[in-house]
Chains A and B, each alone.
Chain A
Amino acid sequence: MAVCIAVIAKENYPLYIRSTPTENELKFHYMVHTSLDVVDEKISAMGKALVDQRELYLGLLYPTEDYKLCRYGYVTNSKVKFVMVVDSSNTALRDNEIRSMFRKLHNSYTDVMCNPFYNPGDRIQSRAFDNMVTSMMIQVC
């Protein structure tokens, strides 16, 4: 499943980023950050079409070889981006599964936003969101 999940604000700063295993955290940060290039490109290239189709899923952004990792992107209507790094050695993952994972993420993010004590733009520190992300990540022993 996913090895890194990031929620990135409209202004491109991270609202939430979690990866596993933790010792590679920095690498994932760089990885997610560079993915924003492609996210931006995709949004601007098919921005209009996306809005019309209500298609939030951006598809594959970038494969990274050494980890056999693929990065997928998703953008909400408020231009908040979700980036997910997925271990591609697990070939069982299909597009639809990625989509559903993003949808789950989106729903949980919406719950976070509905919290009246959460200021939009702050870092996400919700336990519920954390738990959901954990459930989507590989448990590395």
Chain B
Amino acid sequence: MDASEEPLPPVIYTMENKPIVTCAGDQNLFTSVYPTLSQQLPREPMEWRRSYGRAPKMIHLESNFVQFKEELLPKEGNKALLTFPFLHIYWTECCDTEVYKATVKDDLTKWQNVLKAHSSVDWLIVIVENDAKKKNKTNILPRTSIVDKIRNDFCNKQSDRRSLPLFSRCCSSSRTPWCSTTNWTPSSLSMWSTSGPGVSVPPGALDCWVFLSCLEVLQRIEGCCDRAQIDSNIAHTVGLWSYATEKLKSLGYLCGLVSEKGPNSEDLNRTVDLLAGLGAERPETANTAQSPYKKLKEALSSVEAFEKHYLDLSHATIEMYTSIGRIRSAKFVGKDLAEFYMRKKAPQKAEIYLQGALKNYLAEGWALPITHTRKQLAECQKHLGQIENYLQTSSLLASDHHLTEEERKHFCQEILDFASQPSDSPGHKIVLPMHSFAQLRDLHFDPSNAVVHVGGVLCVEITMYSQMPVPVHVEQIVVNVHFSIEKNSYRKTAEWLTKHKTSNGIINFPPETAPFPVSQNSLPALELYEMFERSPSDNSLNTTGIICRNVHMLLRRQESSSSLEMPSGVALEEGAHVLRCSHVTLEPGANQITFRTQAKEPGTYTLRQLCASVGSVWFVLPHIYPIVQYDVYSQEPQLHVEPLAEDFWAQMCRDFPLPASKQSVLQFSSDPVYWSWRQTPQDSLLAGIPQRVKFTVTTGHYTIKNGDSLQLSNAEAMLILCQAESRAVVYSNTREQSSEAALRIQSSDKVTSISLPVAPAYHVIEFELEVLSLPSAPALGGESDMLGMAEPHRKHKDKQRTGRCMVTTDHKVSIDCPWSIYSTVIALTFSVPFRTTHSLLSSGTRKYVQVCVQNLSELDFQLSDSYLVDTGDSTDLQLVPLNTQSQQPIYSKQSVFFVWELKWTEEPPPSLHCRFSVGFSPASEEQLSISLKPYTYEFKVENFFTLYNVKAEIFPPSGMEYCRTGSLCSLEVLITRLSDLLEVDKDEALTESDEHFSTKLMYEVVDNSSNWAVCGKSCGVISMPVAARATHRVHMEVMPLFAGYLPLPDVRLFKYLPHHSAHSSQLDADSWIENDSLSVDKHGDDQPDSSSLKSRGSVHSACSSEHKGLPMPRLQALPAGQVFNSSSGTQVLVIPSQDDHVLEVSVT
């Protein structure tokens, strides 16, 4: 029964086809409720629980109520939607158990059995409550009992559960295409068409049915919606379009409409069967010009009509998909279309769809679809004769691991076949990108720092990973090199050094993304490096920053990266500089290829392109990244002279071996760091003994010819020791020894000539010479202590700064080199290994000279034959050595003392000129080839004869046995003149009266250790007769401050010079200060013993009054040799005072 035949008009106009509900039971009752029901029911919104995960919907539903007849129930397998009764209702008004038992129950059972027989499970029993009847029959059982009975009789547990969603199920089944918000998916159609098990249909019948259904549904939608509505709901209908397209396509293939030759007889039979199966067109559409039925019939009737309809549908579907942004689906339909075009031998039309789909898959990195689409595209390109594109696609497929070995070999062979064809136009090249053919894995230079001198040989070894499944013979592999003259300016920076500090000189290339083209969003990682720019002059940091090395990769346009399939982007560079390697067979997998080149022009060479040629096919890697460079340098010849023995530089080279080639870099580098290294060892040559000096000739671009020699102008005090066995070694630039030759040295008075061995350019010649610095007297003049010296040797010109440093001498040697017209001046600095001091020792009038030799060097020496001679002419003076050993070792940093006693018979000379000399040789060496000059030291001793003897004594107070703290003791000072008038006395202090000479002396008692308090005056001026045994006695009071054995206070003697001196007082003050051991502070603040100030009397008061700028008496210390303190070192016992309660003990 069709819904449209129902007489009742639709309440809502859109509800054309209503779900059928059958009514059984009390027809009168139903008729009475029908008007209310049919009006009220559609107003109630109800929930439509939808399957397949779709959200539930609230809908308004009308139903078509018909009387229950058994014929209405569908036969087995027939599930026609429009005639299908969805729900069966049994109506009853029964409220009487008796009536129920008698009639209603039977009727219900019959109804149920009919339903069960037709496996209809959706039913509803309605019991209508009648108020009127209820009132009349109050005694009857409540209605509920009937309901209970019915429930007991007909609703078992399971069906009871099912009865609850009854009505909603009914709704869910009645899909309403006219409701525009409904998501139309073809699944429903598919379910209807295939859900009947066991129904056998001819192949294609279902496709026909689905196609028709789709188009009908779409037509209905178009009929009832306006354009805007349809457009806004494409997302819901496009599925049907796509589905219809797909079905038509499969019908076309089935019926032979897509094949090149057209349908054969079998295909035609099948078509006829299908058309017959369609039956007659339904009458309501039979008269229309366009109907799905007609469309299908037409499409199946001829190849042309099919093509037209199929293309229409496909294009419409693609357009719709594209318009709603379902690009992937659009591309997929497009690929079907391309397949169709390929079948129809129209590859030019297929190409665009294949390219479009491929681009999409590449962009999203779907490997399998890529491979599949590429295979289709390869076929298409082959048909189109796009040789370049075909070869590129073939190379991609040949390297594609998703294909079988056979398929890969096939595509590889396609390339090789083409390449081996004799080309029509010779020289024509097909340029293809390299990455699918082979990949550059790593590269390494030999020499590994990629620096080579002009004329040197550089090897570049690369690893190429061939992607081809078979070995490929490559005629040549070429690396295009870009040359730039950079003057090597930037290589000195630290940036350059870090860049080239690849651990083993191997540069690795990141694996290309070829096998799995990941999304274009996955950009390469940032390559950040620290950058330091240092000032070339003082190595200070000028700028620092961070460099992004691959900025060109990161900032390039996104579009360009997606055009992976476009071969046009690869351009072959033609450069003057190439590295070439011919006739290489690339095996599948890794291959080592070595390029050799001889460096020509100095500059920086950047590897740019890598090309491999197979016949007329060139595979090109357009950019080699990361940047690979090598440098060619040209170097000026150079000479270095440096101390060898314990050379810091040599030690550095030994302890921290640099790669040999790096050393050569350092030698011509002007990097201040390295210069400072080289300057430190300069002090290590020792004067007086043979020292080895290393000569290094870096030949640079100069070739040493036979007869080339170094001409050394001799320095006066430096000998070049010629040894017969000296040899020169020639090293290559990489520190490999290449030859060795004897060194010929010829010496004349002025010039030493060293003939160099023959050496090619960029080699290093090394040889050693022994030099000896002759000790020169002024340089060794040495230091003297102040004891015997009136004037200090401070003004002596030496380089001694502190006592620990050695005195040095510079010897400048001028060397003429064969490569230059200019002389090279080299300064060699020698250090004197010893420091010598002397001192005068006295014992009464006996005099001794002590010489101290201090070894400052690191070496041990053997001293021998020490002499001290008087260079003056005093004949009666004898120097008696007190040294017993003639040989004496002097160890590093140790001192040796020599002592002589001075003896004379007549009047001693006022001064004594001495020369000390001692032979020395390094303790380690047994035999020296040459005799060494002894070490000499000259000095002068003046005023060494003792003129005065000072004797001090302390006596306890009278009546006491010992001195006591706090009690005054008497200090007796006895000054005795030991000689008559001598030459040394003749100065300003000497006065003559009555044939008697006297001199003015000032004495002073000072106790620096504060053991004694001097009471009364502590100093005084005395007039001392200049005669032997003249004495002067001074008495003063001192008080011990501490108990114990106390050393006596110092008694000092000064010469008291009158104020009419030619010298200004200021100068004198200076001289006092300089001789600070005398601690002369006579000009004022002697505050601690103020009593003594007064006692000085007129002299001092005059002194203070004349303080400002006026002449005043001067004091001059007596030379130590002239005064002998016979009581020095004596001590006096002081006992604590008895009434002291506090004992103070001071330990000094």
- A, B bound: yes
Measured CB to CB, the residues of A under 8 A from B are: 9, 11-14, 25-26, 29-30, 33-34, 36-38, 40-41, 59-60, 62-63, 65, 68, 70, 72, 88, 95, 98, 121, 123
Question: Which chain B positions have C-beta within 8 A of A11?
Answer: 364-365, 518-519, 521-522
| Chain B 187-209: CB-based contact to A (< 8 A → 1; otherwise 0) | 10010001000000000000000
**Contacting pair A25 B210 (CB below 8 A):** no
**Contacting pair A13 B53 (CB below 8 A):** no
Interchain CB contact (< 8 A) of A25 among B185, B190, B194, B368: B368
Nearest 8 CB-CB pairings of A with B? A13-B365, A59-B53, A11-B519, A37-B326, A63-B187, A60-B53, A65-B190, A60-B52
**Contacting pair B361 A33 (CB below 8 A):** yes
**Contacting pair A34 B366 (CB below 8 A):** no
**Contacting pair B210 A13 (CB below 8 A):** no
Question: Which chain A positions have C-beta within 8 A of B519?
Answer: 9, 11-13
Question: Which chain A positions have C-beta within 8 A of B162?
Answer: none
Interchain CB contact (< 8 A) of B366 among A14, A63, A65, A70: A14
Chain B 357-408 residues near chain A, CB threshold 8 A = 361, 364-369, 372
Interchain CB contact (< 8 A) of B328 among A34, A88, A98, A123: A34
The closest CB in chain B to the CB of A123 belongs to B516
Measured in the bound complex, the distance between the Cα atoms of B194 and A68 in whole Å is 10
The answer to whether the Cβ of B325 comes within 8 Å of any Cβ in the partner chain is yes
| Chain B 332-357: CB-based contact to A (< 8 A → 1; otherwise 0) | 10000000000000000000000000
Measured CB to CB, the residues of B under 8 A from A are: 52-54, 185-187, 190, 194, 210, 235, 239, 243, 321, 324-329, 332, 361, 364-369, 372, 516, 518-519, 521-522
Interchain CB contact (< 8 A) of B369 among A33, A62, A68, A88: A33
**Contacting pair A41 B243 (CB below 8 A):** no
Q: How many A-B residue pairs have CB under 8 A?
A: 80
Q: Distance in Å from the Cβ of A115 to the closest Cβ of chain B?
A: 20
**Contacting pair B235 A63 (CB below 8 A):** no
The closest CB in chain B to the CB of A89 belongs to B194
Measured in the bound complex, the distance between the Cα atoms of B516 and A9 in whole Å is 14
**Contacting pair B328 A63 (CB below 8 A):** no
Question: Which chain B positions have C-beta within 8 A of A29?
Answer: 366, 368-369
Q: Distance in Å from the Cβ of B250 to the closest Cβ of chain A?
A: 9
Question: Which chain B positions have C-beta within 8 A of A72?
Answer: 53
Q: Distance in Å from the Cβ of B927 to the closest Cβ of chain A?
A: 71
| 19 other A-B residue contacts (CB within 8 Å) besides A29-B366, A63-B185 | A11-B364, A11-B518, A12-B519, A13-B518, A26-B369, A26-B372, A33-B332, A33-B361, A33-B366, A34-B326, A34-B328, A37-B321, A37-B326, A37-B327, A40-B325, A41-B325, A62-B239, A95-B53, A121-B522
Interchain CB contact (< 8 A) of A65 among B53, B187, B364: B187
Q: Distance in Å from the Cβ of A56 to the closest Cβ of chain B?
A: 13
Q: Distance in Å from the Cβ of B36 to the closest Cβ of chain A?
A: 37
Question: Which chain A positions have C-beta within 8 A of B210?
Answer: 65
Question: Which chain A positions have C-beta within 8 A of B187?
Answer: 63, 65, 70, 88
Q: Distance in Å from the Cβ of B269 to the closest Cβ of chain A?
A: 24
Q: Distance in Å from the Cβ of A42 to the closest Cβ of chain B?
A: 11
Asked, given contacts A29-B366, A29-B369, A65-B190, whether A38 binds B361 with beta carbons under 8 Å apart, the answer is no
Measured in the bound complex, the distance between the Cα atoms of B209 and A65 in whole Å is 13
The closest CB in chain B to the CB of A40 belongs to B325
The closest CB in chain A to the CB of B189 belongs to A65
14 sampled A-B residue pairs with Cβ under 8 A: A11-B365, A13-B364, A13-B366, A26-B368, A29-B369, A33-B361, A34-B328, A37-B326, A59-B53, A62-B239, A63-B185, A65-B243, A68-B190, A72-B53
Question: Which chain B positions have C-beta within 8 A of A33?
Answer: 328, 332, 361, 364, 366, 369
Interface of B is mostly: helix
**Contacting pair A37 B329 (CB below 8 A):** yes
Measured in the bound complex, the distance between the Cα atoms of B367 and A25 in whole Å is 12
**Contacting pair B329 A34 (CB below 8 A):** yes
**Contacting pair A60 B365 (CB below 8 A):** no
**Contacting pair B328 A41 (CB below 8 A):** no
Measured in the bound complex, the distance between the Cα atoms of B368 and A88 in whole Å is 25
Interface of A is mostly: mixed
Measured in the bound complex, the distance between the Cα atoms of B320 and A37 in whole Å is 13
Question: Which chain B positions have C-beta within 8 A of A121?
Answer: 518, 522
Question: Which chain A positions have C-beta within 8 A of B361?
Answer: 33
Measured in the bound complex, the distance between the Cα atoms of B920 and A25 in whole Å is 96
B53, B361, B364, B521, most chain A CB atoms within 10 A:
B53
Question: Which chain A positions have C-beta within 8 A of B522?
Answer: 11, 121
Measured in the bound complex, the distance between the Cα atoms of B369 and A13 in whole Å is 12
Asked, given contacts A9-B519, A37-B326, whether A65 binds B369 with beta carbons under 8 Å apart, the answer is no
The closest CB in chain A to the CB of B190 belongs to A65
Asked, given contacts A26-B372, A63-B186, A68-B190, whether A37 binds B328 with beta carbons under 8 Å apart, the answer is yes
**Contacting pair B190 A36 (CB below 8 A):** no
Question: Which chain B positions have C-beta within 8 A of A38?
Answer: 326
Measured in the bound complex, the distance between the Cα atoms of B523 and A11 in whole Å is 12
Asked, given contacts A11-B519, A12-B519, A14-B366, whether A30 binds B326 with beta carbons under 8 Å apart, the answer is no
B52, B190, B518, B522, most chain A CB atoms within 10 A:
B52
**Contacting pair B326 A63 (CB below 8 A):** no
Q: Distance in Å from the Cβ of B439 to the closest Cβ of chain A?
A: 19
Q: Distance in Å from the Cβ of B234 to the closest Cβ of chain A?
A: 12
Question: Which chain A positions have C-beta within 8 A of B367?
Answer: 14
The closest CB in chain B to the CB of A88 belongs to B187
Q: Distance in Å from the Cβ of B793 to the closest Cβ of chain A?
A: 77
The closest CB in chain B to the CB of A121 belongs to B522
Measured in the bound complex, the distance between the Cα atoms of B369 and A81 in whole Å is 19
Question: Which chain B positions have C-beta within 8 A of A26?
Answer: 368-369, 372
B235, B366, B522, most chain A CB atoms within 10 A:
B366
Q: Distance in Å from the Cβ of B400 to the closest Cβ of chain A?
A: 13
Measured in the bound complex, the distance between the Cα atoms of B190 and A25 in whole Å is 24
Measured in the bound complex, the distance between the Cα atoms of B183 and A38 in whole Å is 13
Q: Distance in Å from the Cβ of B354 to the closest Cβ of chain A?
A: 14
Q: Distance in Å from the Cβ of B433 to the closest Cβ of chain A?
A: 22
**Contacting pair A14 B328 (CB below 8 A):** no
Interchain CB contact (< 8 A) of A30 among B321, B332, B521: B332
Measured in the bound complex, the distance between the Cα atoms of B190 and A30 in whole Å is 21
Measured in the bound complex, the distance between the Cα atoms of B325 and A34 in whole Å is 12
Question: Which chain B positions have C-beta within 8 A of A13?
Answer: 364-366, 518-519
Question: Which chain B positions have C-beta within 8 A of A88?
Answer: 187
Question: Which chain B positions have C-beta within 8 A of A60?
Answer: 52-54
Question: Which chain B positions have C-beta within 8 A of A68?
Answer: 190, 194
Measured in the bound complex, the distance between the Cα atoms of B193 and A65 in whole Å is 11
Question: Which chain A positions have C-beta within 8 A of B368?
Answer: 25-26, 29
Question: Which chain B positions have C-beta within 8 A of A98?
Answer: 53
The closest CB in chain B to the CB of A98 belongs to B53
Q: Distance in Å from the Cβ of B59 to the closest Cβ of chain A?
A: 19
Measured in the bound complex, the distance between the Cα atoms of B238 and A37 in whole Å is 13
The closest CB in chain A to the CB of B333 belongs to A34
**Contacting pair A59 B54 (CB below 8 A):** yes
The closest CB in chain A to the CB of B194 belongs to A68
The closest CB in chain A to the CB of B183 belongs to A60
Question: Which chain B positions have C-beta within 8 A of A123?
Answer: 516
Interchain CB contact (< 8 A) of B52 among A12, A30, A63: A63
Q: Distance in Å from the Cβ of B745 to the closest Cβ of chain A?
A: 69
Question: Which chain B positions have C-beta within 8 A of A70?
Answer: 52, 187
Q: Distance in Å from the Cβ of A30 to the closest Cβ of chain B?
A: 6
The closest CB in chain A to the CB of B55 belongs to A59
Question: Which chain B positions have C-beta within 8 A of A9?
Answer: 519
The closest CB in chain A to the CB of B52 belongs to A60
Measured in the bound complex, the distance between the Cα atoms of B335 and A30 in whole Å is 11
Question: Which chain A positions have C-beta within 8 A of B516?
Answer: 123
A30, A60, A68, most chain B CB atoms within 10 A:
A30
**Contacting pair B194 A12 (CB below 8 A):** no
The closest CB in chain A to the CB of B186 belongs to A65
Measured in the bound complex, the distance between the Cα atoms of B54 and A34 in whole Å is 20
B190, B194, B328, B519, most chain A CB atoms within 10 A:
B328
Question: Which chain B positions have C-beta within 8 A of A65?
Answer: 186-187, 190, 210, 243
Q: Distance in Å from the Cβ of A14 to the closest Cβ of chain B?
A: 6
Measured in the bound complex, the distance between the Cα atoms of B1034 and A85 in whole Å is 129
